[in-house]
Amino acid sequence: MEAAGESLRDTELRLGLPGTDAPEKPASTVTRGGKRALPEDDEEGYGKSNKSSSSEEQGEGDLCCQEPPAAKAQVVGWPPIRSYRKNSLHARKAEGEAAGLYVKVSMDGAPYLRKIDLKVYKGYKELREALDDMFKCFSLGEFPRKEGCSGSEYAITYEDKDGDLMLVGDVPWEMFISSCRRLRIMKGSEATGLGSRH
Amino acid sequence: MTYFPEEVVEHIVDFLGSHGDRNAVSTVCKAWYQVDRLSRRSVFVGNCYAIRPERVVTRFPEMKSLTVKGKPHFADFNLVPYDWGGFAQPWIEAVARGCPGLEELRLKRMVVTDDDLELLARSFPNFKSLVLVSCEGFSSDGLAAIATYCRGLRELDLQENEVEDHGRQWLSCFPDSCTSLVSLNFACLKGEVNASALERLVARCPNLRSLKLNHSISVESLNKILARAPHLVDLGTGSFTIDNRSETYRRLINSFFKCKSLRSLSGFWDASPFCLQAVYPVCTNLTVLNLSYAPAIQSADLTKLIGLCFKLQKLWVLDCIGDKGLAVVASTCKELQELRVFPSDIYGAGITAVTEEGLVAISSGCPKLNSLLYFCYQMTNSALTTVAKNCPHFTRFRLCILEPEKPDPVTNQPLDEGFGAIVRSCKNLRRLSVSGLLTDQVFLYIGMYAERLEMLSIAFAGDSDKGMVYVLNGCKNLRKLEIRDCPFGDAALLKDVAKYETMRSLWMSSCDVTLGGCKALAAKMPRLNVEIINENDGTCESKENLSDLHKVEKMYFYRTVAGPRNDAPDFVWTL
């Protein structure tokens, strides 16, 4: 058993709760030297600025690990951008999320499946990290970091729109997310039949 | 001067365009006051609480166009609570009673309800133009009333309003007999709009010159619309996402080829990079381009587009254009007069999108630049000095360094000298917003040199009361002053109270002004409404219980002849 490896991974710092995606924005408050502490930005913004500053958005902040110092403090009404514009940019993001590309993810041996939104990730690296996060309680070894999975416990595969089982990582990311129907994390022993195509 | 018969005076006065000039004329003598009031067609009320609507209506019975502004500017940034005020209702009611010949109404930062819009639609048979900017409180139902009852409507211009979508197909309410539209802007609407009703409307309005769509209008629809309205001068696209190998895309390029009159483009909601190419045919004639709602387009594609727009006068972009992109703007757009660069990633971790370099490039390439709004991560004194030298014609200069109190990163000094250079060089500066690390010194410069300054916005700046006093002593033409998070207190506030009657308004939030100071001000100046906005109801303190030493979170005062207003909510105390 890889008990040592497991406990090492447990101590690894990550942003976000296990199994969740990385948070979209930092939620920190910085007190300026000499001036009063600045209230956190009211996410609900336009039309509801009466609310006090703590909201469900800020709850994430407690669970997050330390924010990088470069993260900006959020001040009410700063930067001075019209609510309309702020909401537009937000809405654009939200719309993108709503029209997400949700696919099921199964892992051999795990009792239940997960679902993830492929649109949230920028590339394969992020996807692997997220899957790592999600399934580490079940996994016993390292996830493959590169294409081809020689020597690893698991391989990440997917079922494409033709119904074929494919190895994740061969095609450009954009092409992948448009053709991926579901993901399957296979035990390495089963996956050797696939190998690298190149 | 009284030798001239009234008709002659009226004729002369008619040539005066600006409100300020006409106001001056009306103060000369009673006769001229009468001439002005009976011949004034266009009335501007900068603060809806400065005067009662009835008085305006009585004074100017022949009014054809009315402009009214409501909430203070900082309401744009959520600093003013939702129900603070600025209601359009009393204005529309008064004008409906007194000036039924009204043709044009322009409202900014006001609360407009559906009932207001219905009253408006039914009360003015000659109504031609409705412009609502940054307003709220109405829905698609109100728009339906406008569409239904305003015969002969020429302009419906909705800019950045918060409009509720009640699902009502308001656009379908324009009757078949409506053929008079010249300008239609519904870009800010969130809901669906009946595309075929829109296409039919466009088809029957031969004078349509300005059309701004919301994101619910597809490219297919846009194609049909452009086919019907090839004489459009100003277009705001709807959704702009298409597969560039599709038939729709080819048709779009074709449509744009035919739009020989197009001079202004905006919209581009969700635009993806290759879609922009469809617009290339019109670039060489564009004078206005607004890409500030297209975050998906990165610098390379932006610059390919802008590189063709050598007649551009006004450009609004996101900061993903980068310094390099701004250099392309500088080398292409020699006619540029107005530039706005908005931040695309407000919550990001300080990615350097645009810096002082981009601004310097623009200033050296675009000598006609007179209006700037620039969000950036850093600025240097040296850059500002160069900009001041290159562009002495600024009338509006707004610089927002995203991190409050950030010094010059090269010298670690405050930006006093940089802004000082701007005010010294730009003799016609009317509007200024400062940011970054600033001491009282910058305000000394502003007071000394910014003689034409009318509006000043200050945040996280200054060391002491002296800063504010420099400004109030110096800027003779100051009309609006808005301050947040600065160490200015009662001493500055009360130094020269007579000054405040020469100004429209003053806003101070998160400063060091106390309740006692505000009370003293209110006592000395009966013709100011001094409002304290007290939102933190947790303490349930009434103003009797609060000590005079209590620091006021938000104070807004304005000159008025209307006395304290009667529509103030509980959390607003008029002292």
Read off the pLDDT of residues B381-420 as tens digits, 9 standing for 90 and up: 999 999 999 999 999 999 999 999 999 999 999 999 999 9
Higher local confidence (pLDDT), A2 or B11: B11
B75 or B7, which is more confident?
B75
pLDDT, tens digit (0-9, with 9 covering 90-100), for A61-93: 333 333 344 444 567 888 999 888 887 776 665
Cβ neighbours of residue B500 closer than 8 Å, sequence gap 6 or more: B506, B521, B525, B528, B557, B559
Whether residue A9 has pLDDT greater than 80: no
Q: Domains of chain A, with CATH numbers?
A: 102-140+153-192 (3.10.20.90)
Q: Contact A72/B76, CB-based, under 8 Å?
A: no
Predicted pLDDT at B146: 96
Give me the pLDDT at residue B93, please.
97
Residue of chain B whose alpha carbon sits nearest to that of A80: B77
Q: Which of A42-46, B88-92, B564-568 has the highest mean pLDDT?
A: B88-92
Q: Cβ–Cβ of B342/A80 closer than 8 Å? A: no
Integer Cα distance of B418 and B388 in angstroms: 8
Among left, alpha and beta (phi > 0; psi -120 to 50; other), residue B427 is: alpha
Distance from CA of A188 to the nearest CA of B (A): 39
Confidence of residue A35 (pLDDT cuts 50, 70, 90): very low
Residues in chain A: 198
DSSP letter for B511, please: S
pLDDT at residue B289 tops 90: yes
Q: Are strands B572-574 and B528-533 parallel, antiparallel or unpaired?
A: antiparallel
Residues A67, B388: Cα–Cα separation, whole Å: 38
Query: How high is the pLDDT of residue B542?
Result: 61
Return the amino acid letter for B485. Answer: D
Structure ipTM: 0.85
Distances (CA, A) of A75 to A30, A38, A142: 9, 6, 41
Q: Which range, of B39-48, B90-99, B192-201, B350-359, averages the lowest pLDDT?
A: B350-359
Of the pLDDT bands very low, low, confident and very high (cuts 50, 70, 90), residue A30 is: very low
Q: Residue B392, preceding bond cis, omega within 30 degrees?
A: no
Say which DSSP state B464 is in: S
Neighbouring residues of B85: CB distance < 8 A, sequence distance ≥ 6 = B49, B70, B71, B111, B565, B567, B568, B569, B572
pLDDT at B549: 86
pLDDT interval class at B328 (50, 70, 90): very high
Q: Residues B232, B261: contact at Cβ < 8 Å?
A: yes
Q: What is the pLDDT of residue B123?
A: 96
Cα B495 from chain centroid (whole Å): 31
- Mean pLDDT across B475-504: 95
pLDDT at residue number A91: 65
Per-chain mean pLDDT for chain B: 92
Nearest CA distance, A194 vs chain B (angstrom): 34
More reliable by pLDDT, B335 or A72: B335
The answer to whether B70 and B108 have CB atoms below 8 angstroms apart is yes
Query: pTM for the full model?
Result: 0.77
Q: Which residue of A has its CA nearest to B406?
A: A32
pLDDT tens sequence across B510-531: 999 999 999 999 999 999 999 9
Residue B344 has, within 13 A of its CA and on its CB side, a CA count of 22
pLDDT digits (tens, 9 = 90+) for A106-157: 888 888 888 888 887 878 888 888 888 888 776 655 555 554 444 457 888 9
Chain A: give the shortest CA distance to residue B570, in Å: 13
Q: Which of B244-248, B284-288, B317-321 has the lowest mean pLDDT?
A: B244-248
At A95, the pLDDT band (50, 70, 90 cuts) reads low
Of A50, A79, A81, the CB nearest to B82: A50
Chain B residue set in contact with A, beta carbons under 8 Å = 74, 76-82, 134, 136, 160-162, 188, 190, 269-270, 292-293, 295, 342-344, 346-350, 375, 400, 402-405, 433, 457, 459-460, 484-485, 487, 510, 535-536, 538
Q: How far apart are the first and last CA of chain A?
A: 33
